[in-house]
Structure 1
Amino acid sequence: MIRRFFVGLLFFLLISCGKNEKPIVAFYYWKTIFKLSPAEKEVLRDNKVSKLYIRYFDIGLHPETQDPIPMSPIRFQENAANFDIVPVVFIQNKVMSLPRLNIDDLAQKTIRLVEEMNAKNKIAVQEIQIDCDWTLKSKDNYLRFIEQFKKLSKKKLSATIRLHQVKYFKKTKIPNVDSGVLMYYNMGTIANDSLNSIYGKKVAERYLKSLKKYPLHLDFALPIYSWAIHIREQKVIGLRSKLNVNELKKDANFEKIGTIFFKVKKSNYKNGVFYEENDLLKIEAISSEDLIEMGNDLDKNLVHAPREIIFYDLDEFNIKNYEKNIFKQVISCF
């Protein structure tokens, strides 16, 4: 009787531990050269990060022939063999929208280039990820591409998923992949208003309840980047990366005129971009409180816990804006 009690107790504890197992921390790496800075290496060590999702190349359209071509392939200046690498291929939606797209040819060429890059850099991979914000127009081509890619690659295949593809999955369909990564950002419209297009709780709430009905296993990608929306005469003229409030405060050419707005005091060049006098910059960023809120809101609406939380993206400019233990804090929400 006592033996049965202890066997039952052990079984209960094992189940409890399984339920409470936290997701791992992973990062996207979205530069064209792979070389980790000391600060980036430190954050990987501190968070025991073993998995990196590295953008290998984009697929866009040739400006003249309108044929699919690889763009901006990454170059490895540092050995990545110490990490579990997942190559990510970003495919522009206009590629998948081509009316006579040669799916088989595109899948074969994409796999071949990934394999060549792996061989050249002595990287062994178990998984490949396809990143594409497909639409109803491009859906059929995209789903066929995924089927062919999975058959030819013989690797675990994951795909990025957007919020609208979760809520309306009966229309947008679900790609035949082993798992998905929900991109929990870029929720709003890039505009000259006071709203944050990267993340907004009210926007997110329109989609969160749909997570319980989505049949594909999802991990989550959370944003740690910031950018500035460049506004001239009340019109958005571009997005400027690697800018935040602290960066602009240090520059005498810019004057803070609100919580997130800066005005150009004097025409100047900054980071290779020309700013006219009286232009506006609207800073959009994600706070530590935002990240904790995201984690808690996602956890409340899940059927199955994520295996990974992937932060976008690993860059010294991004990580220096957060306290050292923020990534562990977010993981503890699940």
Structure 2
Amino acid sequence: MKKIILFGVILCLFISCQQQEKPTISFYYWKTIFRLSPKEKNTLTTNEVKRLYIRYFDIDLSPKTQKPFPRTPIRFENTTSGYEIIPVVYIKNKVMLDKKLNVLDLAQKTNSFIQQINLKNNITIQEIQIDCDWTLESKDNYLRFIDAFKKISNKKLSATIRLHQIKYFKKTKIPNVDRGVLMYYNMGKIATDSLNSIYDLNIANRYLSSLKNYPLPIDIALPIYSWGIHIRDGKIIGLRNKINVKNLKNNSSFVLTKKNWFVVAHSDFKDGVFYKKNDQIKIETISENDLLEMANNLEENTVQNPKEIIFYDLDEFNLKNYEEGLFEKIIDCF
């Protein structure tokens, strides 16, 4: 009887320790040249980051041949020594929509290109991540690609998962990967209204409860980026990444009319973009409070804590918008 009680106590302590385990902090690196600034290096050191998810290349359809081809492959100017590198390959959904797609050929070529990049830069990997927002129409090709790629690469495989794929997994299916990463951003449509397309609590609430029923282990990706939506005559004409709001406020050509909205008072070129008089710029950002709200809601709606929180993306422009210690605050929510 004493042995049974002792075993029960040990089991409870073990479960308790498991429940208290906090996720680790990681980052996506989404630029075409791997070169870390002092600020970026300091962020990695301060937060004891061990893993970097580096976008190796995109896969798109060639305009001429309509065949898959790699775009904007990564070039390494800094060493990756000291970090575990997880290559990320972003595949546009239109590639998977091609009914004549040779899935096996694509898997072989994708793996081969990853190996070339690793060999050239003396990088050893244990895991690869596939990023694709597959749909009901493309799911058959996508799932077959994942199966083929897993066998060919002989590596651990993770895949990005969107909220709608969590809620409707019986229809969208679950890729044959070791784990998923929930992309907890880009929730709404990029639009001219007042809503934030990066994060919208009302939209998130439609899906959060579904997390408890998803059968695949998942980690979480959270946004730390911002952008400007360029509007002309009521229509969106482009997304402007890494817009410096402070510089806009100090430029007489741009007038702040309400929170996060600018109107172009005088036609002007800025950072290589032409802004016509009366154009509007809608700034969409993620605040510290937004991130803490996300973390708390996710913690309440997951059966088991994620092992990792991955922030998108590691860039000095993004990091300067947040106080030091924020990433630890977010981890402490779990």
Q: TM-score range by the shorter chain?
A: over 0.9
Q: Deviations over 1:272-323 (max 9, x none)?
A: 1110011000000000000000000011111121000000000000010001
Equivalent AA in structure 1 for residue 297 of structure 2: D
Q: Which residue in 2 is equivalent to 1:74?
A: 74
Query: Alpha-carbon deviations, 1:202-235, whole Å to 9, x = none?
Result: 0000000111111001100000000000000111
TM-score normalised per structure 2: 0.97
Counterpart secondary structure, 2:85: strand
Give the distance between the partners of 1:312 and 1:124, measured in 2 at CA: 23
Cα distance change, pair 2–147 in 1 and its aligned pair in 2 (3 A): closer
Counterpart for residue 199 of structure 1: 199
How has the CA–CA distance of structure 1 residues 254 and 307 changed in structure 2, closer, same or farther, with 3 Å as cutoff?
same
1:252 counterpart = 2:252:
yes
Q: Residue 158 in 1 paired to residue 135 in 2?
A: no
Q: 1:168 is aligned with what amino acid?
A: Y
User: What is aligned with 1:125?
Assistant: 125
- The alpha-carbon deviation at position 39 of structure 1 amounts to 0.4
CA drift at 1:2: 9.2
Partner in structure 2 of residue 306 of structure 1: 306
Q: 1:284 to 1:112 in 2, by over 3 A?
A: same
Q: Tell me the residue number matched to 2:24.
A: 24
CA distance in 2, matches of 1:168, 1:9: 39
Deviations 1:160-184 (A, max 9, x none): 0001111111111000000000000
Letter in 2 for 1:157: L
Task: Kindly state the Cα deviation for residue 271 of structure 1 after the two structures are TM-superposed.
Answer: 1.2
* Structure 1 residue aligned with 2:97: 97
Q: Alpha-carbon deviation of 1:9?
A: 5.0
Distance between the aligned counterparts of 1:196 and 1:297, measured in 2?
18
Aligned 1:223-242 pairs, distance under 5 A = 223-242=223-242
Instruction: Provide the C-alpha distance between the structure 2 equivalents of 1:247 and 1:110, rounded to a whole number of angstroms.
Output: 41
Amino acid at match of 1:55: R
Q: Percent identity?
A: 61
Structure 2: segments with no counterpart, 5+ residues: none
With over 3 angstroms needed to count, the CA separation of the structure-2 counterparts of 1:143 and 1:253, relative to structure 1, is same
Aligned partner of 2:106: which letter?
Answer: L
For each residue in 1:115-156, what CA deviation from the matched residue of structure 2 results, as whole angstroms up to 9, or x when unmatched? 110011000000000000001111100000000000110100
Residue 63 of structure 2 aligns to a residue whose secondary structure is coil
Secondary structure at 1:257 match in 2: strand
Q: Contact 1:226/1:244 (CA < 8 Å) preserved in 2?
A: no
Q: Secondary structure at the match of 2:269?
A: strand
| Structure 1 contact 244–285 (Cα < 8 Å) conserved | no
RMSD: 1.5
Q: Could you state the TM-score of these two structures normalised by the residue count of structure 1?
A: 0.97
For the residue of structure 2 that corresponds to 1:230, the secondary structure is strand
**Given the superposition, is the C-alpha separation of residues 4 and 95 from structure 1 closer, same or farther in structure 2, using an over 3 Å criterion?**
closer
Measure how far apart 1:246 and its partner are: 2.5
The separation in 1 between residues aligned to 2:22 and 2:273, in whole angstroms, is 43
* Pairwise CA distance, 1:10: 5.2
Alignment partners' CA distance in 1, 2:3 and 2:176: 46
1:220 maps onto 2:184 in alignment: no
Task: Quickly say closer, same or farther: Cα 1:137–1:2, change in 2 above 3 A.
Answer: closer
Aligned partner of residue 236 in structure 2, secondary structure: strand
Query: Equivalent residue for 1:34?
Result: 34
The alignment status of 1:268 with 2:292, answered yes or no, reads no
1:59 aligns with 2:59: yes
Alignment partner of 1:328 is 2:328: yes
Q: Deviations over 1:31-80 (max 9, x none)?
A: 00000000001111110001000000000011111000000000000000
Name the SS for the 1:42 alignment partner. helix
Name the CA distance, whole Å, in 2 between partners of 1:41 and 1:332: 22
Take 1:3 and 1:61, find their aligned partners in 2: how far apart are those partners? Answer: 64
Residue 135, structure 1, aligned to residue 138, structure 2: no
Displacement of 1:8 in angstroms is: 6.0
For 1:84 and 1:205, locate their aligned partners in 2 and report how far apart those are by CA, in whole Å: 34
Residue number in structure 1 paired with 2:178:
178
| Structure 1 unmatched ranges of 5 or more | none
